[in-house]
């Protein structure tokens, strides 16, 4: 069987140098030339790489692949320009990617897996379980498609969140390769500080990440201050409880000096009382961190109600009064299928019904 063509977006600069010298018998400096075409010029076709010799371009056409994502749908919010893509991968599986426009810049949320097995009760991405991990190239390509769309407006992606479907730390190596590729000065040159990796709380992977001392932000999905409530919302808590998770977070801060971001989705009657706010402040005492309060999106399949705006404000005030910095995340794309995985779930339902 012929080898699968190499997905060029999936190679770090070092890997590309190795591949060019070992497999293509080319000098290593060609890697920087190719990187320039991929990430600065953002071409979608190797034949456009005009400073490469014609024979090499022909060989690259045969040995590599570049554009593998097919746009299935695109929704654009009339309220704030949030753009949500549903992409089909080469095997037909679908993933979501979102562009969000903030007053401080543009962020892109990428998926790292097709579906997710973590089973968080408030999340649509996990409804069909994990289908497969994404490759580094498939994660990078999501960002490239977003950047190309923004190129038309003269805009740049300023930050990236690995917060779409999937648990990035369960798909560790491809997620880290993605970070290496997009932060490379020869690549998109996005600063490590502008990358956020979200995790459900895979404790061993948090230690591993801490030891690598990357300058990225760790966003931990906490969502409750006691084990009973958290285990009900997030099955992962049965494997790694809050105490073990917090220990890992302290370690991460010690190693990286990066303040931890805690995600807390407020769900009416589950985790939004004043006592729970106090317990949360208590839990996080002494750890440099920030709490992002998220008005949970309604997922029809889950039937979870969101906390009222007044109660969300009161919860935030309680935390801030107790010395735990907390802000309420601004809702983006409220008029489109904004919950993580919702667009993909809707698409699957339509396909199943057709
Ligand atoms: S919130 Fe994240 S980790 Fe939890 S099920 Fe959804 S995609 Fe998976």
Residue 339, pLDDT score: 60
Compute the distance from residue 305 Cα to the ligand 1 centre, in Å: 18
Model pLDDT for residues 6-62, shown as the tens digit of each residue: 999 999 999 999 999 999 999 999 999 999 999 999 999 999 999 999 999 999 999
Q: Which atom of ligand 1 is nearest to the CA of 116?
A: 8
Q: Which atom of ligand 1 is nearest to the CA of 167?
A: 3
Nearest CA to ligand 1 atom 6: 123
Asked if residues 323 and 277 have their Cβ atoms less than 8 Å apart, the reply is no
- Predicted confidence band at 338 (pLDDT cuts at 50, 70, 90)? low
Residue 354, pLDDT score: 45
pLDDT at 300 > cutoff 80: no
| Residue limits of CATH 1.10.150.530 in the chain | 6-65
Model pLDDT for residues 68-119, shown as the tens digit of each residue: 999 999 999 999 999 999 999 999 999 999 999 999 999 999 999 999 999 9
Taking residues 208-234, what's their average pLDDT? 96
Range scoring the smallest mean pLDDT among 202-211, 287-296, 341-350 = 341-350
- Better-scored residue on pLDDT, 330 or 310: 310
Compute the distance from residue 200 Cα to the ligand 1 centre, in Å: 7
237 φ, ψ to 5°?
Answer: -65, -20
- Predicted confidence band at 219 (pLDDT cuts at 50, 70, 90)? very high
Chain-centroid distance of CA 28 in Å reads 31
Q: Which CATH class is domain 70-353?
A: alpha beta
Candidates 3.20.20.140, 1.10.150.530, 3.20.80.10, 3.90.420.10; CATH matching 6-65: 1.10.150.530
Alpha-carbon separation of residue 187 from 46, 152, 191, 344 (angstroms): 16, 19, 11, 29
Asked if residues 221 and 329 have their Cβ atoms less than 8 Å apart, the reply is no
pLDDT at 353 > cutoff 60: no
DSSP secondary structure string, 238-290?
A: GTS-HHHHHHHHHHHHHHH-PPEEEEEEEBTTTS-SHHHHHHHHHHHTTS-EE
| pTM score, whole prediction | 0.94
Best CA proximity match to 181, nearest among 205, 147, 211: 147
Active site residues per annotation: 96, 340
Best CA proximity match to 111, nearest among 120, 93, 98, 124: 98
Range scoring the smallest mean pLDDT among 154-163, 289-298, 312-321 = 289-298
- Better-scored residue on pLDDT, 353 or 39: 39
Best CA proximity match to 120, nearest among 223, 45, 206, 35: 223
Residue 212, pLDDT score: 97
- Predicted confidence band at 232 (pLDDT cuts at 50, 70, 90)? very high
Length of the chain: 354
Asked if residues 114 and 89 have their Cβ atoms less than 8 Å apart, the reply is yes
pLDDT at 335 > cutoff 90: no
User: Per-residue b/e over 20-49, b at no fewer than 16 CB within 10 Å?
Assistant: beeebebeeebbebbbebbbeeebeebeeb
pLDDT at 351 > cutoff 60: no
Compute the distance from residue 127 Cα to the ligand 1 centre, in Å: 10
pLDDT at 256 > cutoff 50: yes
> Which one of 123, 168, 230 would you pick to mutate in the ligand 1 pocket, going by the greatest count of ligand atoms within 8 A of its CB?
123
Q: Which atom of ligand 1 is nearest to the CA of 164?
A: 7
Percent of the chain beyond pLDDT 70? 94
Compute the distance from residue 168 Cα to the ligand 1 centre, in Å: 10
| Residue limits of CATH 3.20.20.70 in the chain | 70-353
Model pLDDT for residues 139-169, shown as the tens digit of each residue: 999 999 999 999 999 999 999 999 999 999 9
Best CA proximity match to 179, nearest among 200, 166, 193, 165: 193
Q: Give the residue carrying structure tokens 């770090």.
A: 12
d(CA 326, CA 316): 6
Residues with CB under 6 A from ligand 1: 116, 118-120, 123, 125-126, 165-167, 200, 340
Averaged confidence pLDDT in the chain: 93
Asked if residues 184 and 35 have their Cβ atoms less than 8 Å apart, the reply is yes
d(CA 68, CA 87): 10
């Amino acid at each position: 069987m012929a080898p699968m063509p190499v997905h060029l977006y999936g190679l770090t600069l070092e890997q590309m140098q190795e591949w060019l010298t070992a497999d293509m018998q080319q000098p290593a400096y060609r890697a920087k030339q190719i990187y320039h075409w991929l990430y600065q010029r953002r071409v979608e076709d190797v034949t456009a790489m005009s400073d490469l010799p014609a024979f090499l371009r022909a060989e690259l056409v045969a040995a590599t692949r570049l554009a593998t994502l097919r746009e299935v749908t695109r929704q654009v919010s009339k309220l704030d320009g949030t753009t949500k893509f549903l992409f089909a991968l080469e095997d037909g599986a679908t993933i979501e990617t979102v562009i969000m426009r903030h007053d401080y810049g543009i962020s892109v949320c990428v998926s790292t897996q097709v579906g997710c097995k973590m089973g968080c009760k408030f999340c649509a991405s996990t409804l069909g379980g994990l289908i497969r991990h994404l490759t580094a190239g498939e994660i990078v390509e999501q960002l490239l498609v977003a950047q190309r769309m923004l190129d038309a407006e003269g805009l740049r992606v300023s930050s990236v969140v690995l917060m779409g479907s999937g648990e990035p730390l369960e798909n560790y190596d491809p997620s880290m390769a993605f970070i290496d590729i997009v932060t490379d000065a020869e690549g998109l040159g996005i600063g490590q500080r502008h990358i956020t990796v979200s995790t459900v709380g895979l404790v061993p992977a948090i230690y591993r990440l801490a030891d690598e001392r990357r300058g990225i932000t760790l966003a931990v999905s906490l969502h409750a201050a006691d084990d009973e409530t958290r285990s009900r919302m997030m099955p992962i808590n049965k494997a790694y409880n809050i105490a073990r998770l917090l220990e890992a977070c302290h370690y991460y801060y010690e190693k990286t000096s990066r303040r931890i971001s805690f995600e807390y989705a407020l769900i009416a009657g589950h985790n939004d009382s004043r006592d729970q706010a106090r317990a949360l402040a208590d839990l996080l005492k002494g750890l440099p961190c920030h709490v992002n309060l998220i008005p949970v999106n309604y997922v029809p399949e889950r039937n979870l109600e969101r906390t009222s705006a007044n109660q969300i404000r009161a919860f935030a005030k309680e935390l801030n009064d107790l010395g735990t910095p907390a802000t309420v995340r601004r809702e983006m794309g409220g008029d489109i299928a904004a919950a993580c995985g919702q667009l993909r779930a809707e698409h699957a339902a339509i396909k199943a019904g057709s």
